[in-house]
Structure 1
Amino acid sequence: MGHHSCTCCCAHDNAQPKNTPGNTGFLKEYRRILLSALLLFGGIAMKAMNISFFSDDTVVLVWYLLAYLPVGLPVLKEAWESILRKDVFSEFTLMSIATLGAFYIKEYPEGVAVMLFYSLGELFQDKAVSRAKRNISALLDVRPEKATVIRDNEAVTESPRNVQVGDIIEVKPGERVPLDGTMLGESAAFNTSALTGESVPRTIRKGEEVLAGMIATDKVIRVEVTKPFEKSALSRILELVQNASERKAPAELFIRKFARIYTPIVTGLAVLIVLLPFLYSLANMQFIFTFDDWLYRALVFLVISCPCALVVSIPLGYFGGIGATSRLGVLFKGGNYLDAITKVNTVVFDKTGTLTKGTFEVQSCRTQHGVSEEKLIQIIASAERNSTHPIAKAITGYTEQRRISFVPTAEVTEIAGHGLETKIDGQRILVGNARLLSKYNVEYPQELSKIADTVVVCAIDSAYAGYLLLSDTLKEDARKAIEDLKALNINNIQILSGDKQAIVTNFAEKLGVTQAYGDLLPDGKVEHIEELRQNDGNRIAFVGDGINDAPVLAFSHVGIAMGGLGSDAAIETADVVIQTDQPSKVATAIRAGKQTRRIVWQNISLAFGVKLLVLILGAGGLATLWEAVFADVGVALIAIVNAIRIQKLIK
C-alpha cells in the first residue's frame, strides 16, 4: 500500500514503520492528537461559558489555528507532496480543501474537528494494519535466538545466523530446533505445531530431516545442519506469509482503480454544489444565494466522500484471512488466492502422499528364474537407493530392516513414469512398473497387471526376475476431506495418479469419488487439467505433494500443495500450502476464503451505504461537518473491527 491516490490510511506504509508500540513516532502521534483535542474542546468550552478573553475574533482564530496545526500540518504536507507527484485528487487534498474552507467561513471548531478525527481514525487504522502484520509474523516467527554447537566435543552457544552447514547442533528436551538438518541419533519425538499447527508428536529417525521450529520432546538430540539460517523451512514460510500482502485481491485492486475515478468526481460534484445554486440565482432573482452556506454544504460533501474505510478495511480483511488460516497450517501466498479459492468448483487430487499416507510397506516378494528372494531385494533396493520417491524409501528401509547389504550401481538413468535403468556387476537392471518392462520388450506374467496393490518389478539382462508387492494406506482424514468438499457443494471431485487404474479405482471407491484416473505420467496429468480448463465454467484447484506435481500445480486456477513440513517445490510452485499434510484442510481453505470475501464485501456495502446516505443529507444541507467526520471515521472503525473479526470466525 504505497503512495497512490486516495490512500488515506496507507500514506505512511513506505516510510519507516512508525505507529508501533514503544516507537517514538507512535507517542508523537498521540501527543499531537491530545494537544489538538485539548485546545479544540477547551475553545468550545470557553465559547459556551462566554469567557470574555475568548470573545475577540483574533484570539479565537489564533487559538483554533494552534489546535489545527499539530494534526493539520502533516496532512497539508502529504497533500502538497501528492500534488507534486501529479496525484492532485488524493485523500489529503480532500481533507485540506475541506478544513481550509471551514476556516474561511469561520467554522473553526469544525475545521479542527475534521483533521483531529481524521488523524485519530488514521492512527487506529495504522495500528490495526500493523497489528495484523505483527500477528501474521508472530504466528510463524518462532525461530530460536541461540544454537548449541558441538565443536571439539564441547558445547558452544552461537547465534543461528553464524552456524555453518555441516556443523553439529545439540537440542535439549523442550528446546526449539534452530536450523534445518539431519537427525544423527536413532530416533526422537518432536512437537511440530509451529510448522504444521498439529500438536501430535512426530517421530523422526536417523538420517531423516529435522526442521527449524520443531521442539524436541523426549531426549537430547544432535542434528547435522544442512541449510543456513535464512534458507530454513521456517524462514521461507515466514517470508512467504510476510510477502503475501504484495499480491492484491481483485477487490483491493478494484477499490484502488475506483478511488482514482471516484475522488475527482466527488471533488467536481462539490464544486457543482456551490456553482449550480449560484447560476440558478442569476436566472431566478427570488432565489437568494449565500456563498458561505453552499460552500459549507460542499465541504461536508467532501469530508464524507473520503474512501478511508474502503482503502484500509479491504487489505486488512485479507491480512486477517491470511493470518487466521496460517494459524491453522494453511498458507495463502496472497489475498488474490484467498479470493480465487472462493470460485473453485472442481477439486482434483493427486493420490500418493495427498490422499494416502505415501508411506508404503513391502508386503511380499515373488521371484522367478532361480533368483533368490534376498538377491532380488538387494538388486531392487540398490537401484532405488538414491531415489526420494516414497516407494523407494519403503524398499530401502525394508532392506535395512532385513540387514541385507546394498551393492554398487553404475549409470543410473531415471525413466519418468516408468522406473530406473542401471548396471550392477556389469548386468543391465530394470526396476520399476510393468510399463517399463513393456517399453524394453521384457516378457512378464500377465497376472502382474491384475494386482490391485503397487508392484515394483525387476528384470536382469532383459529377463524378468520377480517383483516386490507394496501397499499404501489412506490418510485418517481423507474421507472427511471428500465429505467436507461435498458439503460445500463441490461435487466435481477427481483423483489423478500414476498408479495402476485398479489401485486408483479401489481408493476412489473407499472415498466415494466417482472420477478416478490411473496410469498417468506427469504429462498426462497436465493434459487432464488442460481438458478440464477447456470448459470455462470449471474453476480448478489441484491438490498435490508439490514435488512431481509442480507443472499441474502451476497450471490449475489454484494450486494447493501438501507442504510436508515445507518441501521446497511445494512452497515455490503452489498458491496455497497446507503445512499439516491433511487433505481435509482444502475445505478449510475454501471456507476461509468465503468468510474473508463475505466480510470484505460487508465492509464495502457498509462504507458505500452510509456514505451515500450522508452525502445526500450533506448536499441537502441536513448534515454538518461534525456528522460528516463522525460518519467517515465511524464507518472506518466499524469496518476495521469487522475485518479483525475474521481471526475469530476462521477455525
Structure 2
Amino acid sequence: AEKNAAASAVGKLIDLVNKAQAGKSPTERTIERFARWYTPAVVLTAVLLATVPWMVDPHDTDGNLQYVRNSLVLLVIACPCALLVSTPITYVCALATGAKNGVVVKGGAHVDALSTAKLLAFDKTGTLTEGSFMVTAFACIDAERREEALEALYKVERCSSHPIARALVLFASEIHRGESASESPQGDRSPFGDPQRSSRGLGEEEEAALQGGAAEFRVEDGRGVSGVVNGEKVYIGNTRMMRDLQVLGEQTRVLGEQTRLGREIKLAEQRVRDWEADGGTVGWVCIGSSPVAIWCVSDSVRAEARSAVLSLEREGLFVAMMTGDNSGSAKKVAGEVAIPNSRVYAELAPNEKVSAANALKTQLLCDTRSSFVMIGDGVNDAAVLASAHVGVAMGATGSTMVMDTADVVLMDSNLLKLPWLINLSKAVVRTVRVNVCVSVLGKAIMIVLIAMQYATLWSAILADILTMVVVTANSSRILAWKTDDVATGHAAATMAEEEEEEEEEEE
C-alpha cells in the first residue's frame, strides 16, 4: 500500500511538471513573436548586402567579396539564438527548482504573475489550519431522538471527504463502540466516548462499527451536506443552511413561545453562538424539518502560518482570509496568524468567495500589472482559485479537483514556501531582463563593428557562443535556490519582529 501511495504521489508530480513545461510566460511568447519577424528580416538583409553590390558595380570584385563576408558575419551575429535561449532557459530552471523543492508551478506565465503579486488571500480550514479536526462538544436538542441523530450523523458524513466529516464519523463510531462495551447505561464510560479524537482516520473496528451510508448524498456548497437515512431527509451543516431551510429564524421564535421543542432550539442557538465566540466550527443535525443535535469541532493552526503571513506582509503584499466558516472561528485563527479582523471575510459560499475576491481586486489592484493570489485546499475553493491570477493548492491535504484547478501546488503544504516562491519569481524576472539586455547589447556591439569593417566571421561566431554561455550561466544561478535556507531566514526574521513587539509593549 505504501509503495502504491508513493508511486501515485510521484506520478502526480510528474504529470504536474509535464503540464508546467507546456505553459509559456508572456515574456517567452513576446520573444518568440519577435523572432518570427526578426529572423526573416535578418536573412533578407544579409542576402541584400551580399547581392546588391554586385548589381551596382559587378567589376569591383574585391569590394563585393568584402560585402559577401560582411553579410555572412551579419547572418551569424544577428542570429537570435542567445535571445531565444535567454528567456525559456530561465523559466525552465525556475520550474525545476520549484519541483525540486516541492513546489510545482504550472508554467512560466504563473511565475510572471507571482512576481507582481500585491494581494493574497488564504482559505482557513486545511490551509492556515492543519485540517485535522476533533469533536469538542455535542448536544442533543431532542433527547428522545439521540440515537437517530447519531446514526444520521454517521451515515451522511461517511459519504463526505471533508476533514470535518472524518472527525464526525470517528466521533459517532466511538460513541457506538463505547455504548456497546458498556455493561449498563450507568457505566463509568461516557455515552459520548472520547471527543478528543483526531480526524486522521478510523481503525478497522470503528469502520465496521456502523455499516451503510446515506442515499441521495449531496454536498450543499458552502453550507454542509445532505442525504436520506431510513427514508428521511437529513441535513448536516452550518447555521446558514438551517436558516435557508427555515428551521431557524422567525418560525423558531414562534415555536419558542408555544412548545418545548421551540425553547430547546432557542437554547441550542445560544449555545451555538457561545461555541462560535470561543472559535469553534459549529454545525447542526436536522432530520426532516426538525433540528435534533448540534456539534462543535476545533482545528489547530499550522506552526508556520504566522511566520508565512508576516513574511508575505514584509514583501509588501496585502494579506486577507476568505472562509466559509463562522466569523468567530475565522477571527480567532486570524488573530493567531497576524491577519487583522478587517481583512477577514467569513461565512462565504463558493460563489461569494469569487465576488469578494473580485471586489478586493477592484479596490486594491489599481495597476493592471499587479496580481491576486489565492491559496486553498478544498472543493469549495476551486472557483475562487480559478478566478485568481494565481491559484495555489495545498498538495498534502488538497482535493484532486483543487490541484487540477490551481496554477501552483505546494506538495508538502508548507506555507513558508509561499514567500520563498514569490522571491524566486522576482529573481526569475530580473534574470530574464538581464539576459535579454546582454543578448541585445552583444549583438548591437557586433553590428557596429561590422559597419566599421572590424568584425570577422570567427569573431562573430565567438561572440554568439560567448553570449549564449553568459545567459545560460546566469540562468543556472536559479538552480541554487533552496527553500530550507529561505525558510530559516523567514523564521528568524519573524522571531526578531515578535521580540521587538514584546519590547515595545513592555516599554
Normalized against structure 2, the TM-score is what?
0.76
* Structure 1 position 353 matched with structure 2 position 94: no
Equivalent residue runs for 1:560-579 within 5 Å: 560-564=392-396, 567-579=399-411
Cα offset for 1:305? 0.8
Deviations 1:518-551 (Å, cap 9, x if unpaired)? 1101111111123234455351111111532111
Question: Which of 142, 152, 156 is the aligned partner of 1:383?
Answer: 156
Equivalent residue runs for 1:270-285 within 5 Å: 270=46
Distance change in 2, residues 1:238/1:642 (3 Å): same
Q: Equivalents in 1 of 2:79, 2:26: separation in Å?
A: 21
Q: Equivalents in 2 of 1:607, 1:501: separation in Å?
A: 54
Equivalent residue runs for 1:450-461 within 5 Å: 450=274, 451-452=276-277, 453-461=280-288
* Structure 1 position 406 matched with structure 2 position 210: yes
> Residue in 2 aligned with 1:97?
none
> Residue in 1 aligned with 2:236?
431
Aligned letter for 1:212?
A
> Residue in 2 aligned with 1:495?
321
Question: Which of 281, 285, 297 is the aligned partner of 1:470?
Answer: 297
* Structure 1 position 509 matched with structure 2 position 335: yes
> Residue in 1 aligned with 2:454?
622
Question: Which of 249, 266, 269 is the aligned partner of 2:42?
Answer: 266
Deviations 1:420-466 (Å, cap 9, x if unpaired)? 34444455543221122222332333422342311122234433333
Q: Equivalents in 1 of 2:211, 2:10: separation in Å?
A: 37
Q: Equivalents in 2 of 1:410, 1:281: separation in Å?
A: 92
Cα offset for 1:367? 2.5
Cα offset for 1:293? 2.6
Structure 1: gaps spanning 5 or more residues: 1-168, 170-176, 180-210, 214-231
> Residue in 2 aligned with 1:600?
432
Cα offset for 1:632? 0.3
> Residue in 2 aligned with 1:236?
12
Contact kept? 2:222, 2:380, Cα under 8 Å:
no
Cα offset for 1:553? 1.2
> Residue in 2 aligned with 1:521?
349
> Residue in 1 aligned with 2:273?
449
Q: What secondary structure, in the 3-state scheme, does the structure 1 residue paired with 2:127 have?
A: coil
Q: What secondary structure, in the 3-state scheme, does the structure 2 residue paired with 1:637 have?
A: helix
Contact kept? 1:592, 1:650, Cα under 8 Å:
no
> Residue in 2 aligned with 1:229?
none
Q: What secondary structure, in the 3-state scheme, does the structure 2 residue paired with 1:581 have?
A: coil
Contact kept? 1:278, 1:289, Cα under 8 Å:
no
> Residue in 2 aligned with 1:196?
none
Cα offset for 1:634? 0.8
Higher helix share: 2
Equivalent residue runs for 1:90-101 within 5 Å: none
> Residue in 1 aligned with 2:480?
648
> Residue in 2 aligned with 1:124?
none
Aligned letter for 1:406?
L
> Residue in 1 aligned with 2:165?
392
What is the count of residue pairs matched by the alignment?
A: 422
Cα offset for 1:401? 3.5
Distance change in 2, residues 1:377/1:566 (3 Å): closer
Cα RMSD between the aligned structures? 2.8
Contact kept? 1:570, 1:577, Cα under 8 Å:
no
> Residue in 2 aligned with 1:544?
376
Deviations 1:462-501 (Å, cap 9, x if unpaired)? 33333122111111111111112112211x1111111111
> Residue in 2 aligned with 1:8?
none
Q: What secondary structure, in the 3-state scheme, does the structure 1 residue paired with 2:413 have?
A: coil
> Residue in 2 aligned with 1:639?
471
Structure 2: gaps spanning 5 or more residues: 179-208, 253-264, 484-507
> Larger RCO: Structure 1 or Structure 2 (Cα < 8 Å, ≥ 6 residues apart)?
2
Normalized against structure 1, the TM-score is what?
0.60
> Residue in 2 aligned with 1:255?
31
Q: Equivalents in 1 of 2:155, 2:333: separation in Å?
A: 30
Deviations 1:547-606 (Å, cap 9, x if unpaired)? 321111111111111122674213311111111112222222212211222222221111
Q: Equivalents in 1 of 2:244, 2:355: separation in Å?
A: 22
* Structure 1 position 316 matched with structure 2 position 89: yes
Distance change in 2, residues 1:616/1:458 (3 Å): same
Q: Equivalents in 1 of 2:164, 2:73: separation in Å?
A: 71
Select between 384-393 and 365-374 the one with higher mean Cα deviation: 365-374
Identical aligned residues as a percent: 32
Distance change in 2, residues 1:486/1:413 (3 Å): closer
Contact kept? 1:237, 1:566, Cα under 8 Å:
no
Contact kept? 2:377, 2:398, Cα under 8 Å:
no
